[in-house]
Structure 1
Amino acid sequence: MEVKIGVQHAPRELVLESGESAEEVERVVAEALAGKSQLLSLTDEKGRRVLVPVDRLAYVDIGESTTRRVGFGAL
């Protein structure tokens, strides 16, 4: 699932592919915004961890899960 994170005063958004479900990502973001942590911490499919200070979050866009296509089929 693709997750886009907007950071205040940053010209580009952070984009990562997460192996978690949309509900799990939403729960982690909600807990961070509720003040349980000062950092939003998400891990991508390759095991890299992304940490963003909660007070600098502009938005979090949780995309749909996509299946990877194989072959030369029509687009």
Structure 2
Amino acid sequence: MEIRIGIANTGRELAFSSSETAEDVRTAVAKALDGGASHVPFSDEKGNTYIVPTAGLAYVEIGTEEQRRVGFVG
């Protein structure tokens, strides 16, 4: 699933693919924001970890968990 994170006062966004479910990502972000955590960690499919400060979060866009189709669309 594709995750895009907008960071305040930055012209670019952080985009990566994750093997986590949409619900897991939503829960982790909500828990970090509600609990007053200073950061929220994310992991991508390659094993990289991104630590994003919660004070700088502008938005978190969580893509769909739909499998990619193979072949031609008619």
TM-score surpassing 0.5? Answer: yes
Deviation, structure 1 residue 16: 1.1
CA–CA distance in structure 1, aligned partners of residues 3 and 51 of structure 2: 13
Q: Which runs of 4+ in 1 moved over 4 A?
A: none
CA–CA distance in structure 1, aligned partners of residues 50 and 57 of structure 2: 13
Which aligned pairs between 1:20-31 and structure 2 lie closer than 5 A?
20-31=20-31
In the other structure, the counterpart of 2:6 is 6
CA–CA distance in structure 1, aligned partners of residues 9 and 39 of structure 2: 17
In the other structure, the counterpart of 1:38 is 38
Q: Higher mean Cα deviation, 29-38 or 8-17? A: 29-38
Identity of aligned residues (%): 45
Q: CA RMSD in A?
A: 1.5
Is there any run of 5+ residues in structure 1 with no aligned partner, and where? none
User: TM-score, normalised on structure 2?
Assistant: 0.88
In the other structure, the counterpart of 2:52 is 52
CA–CA distance in structure 1, aligned partners of residues 44 and 36 of structure 2: 21
User: TM-score, normalised on structure 1?
Assistant: 0.87
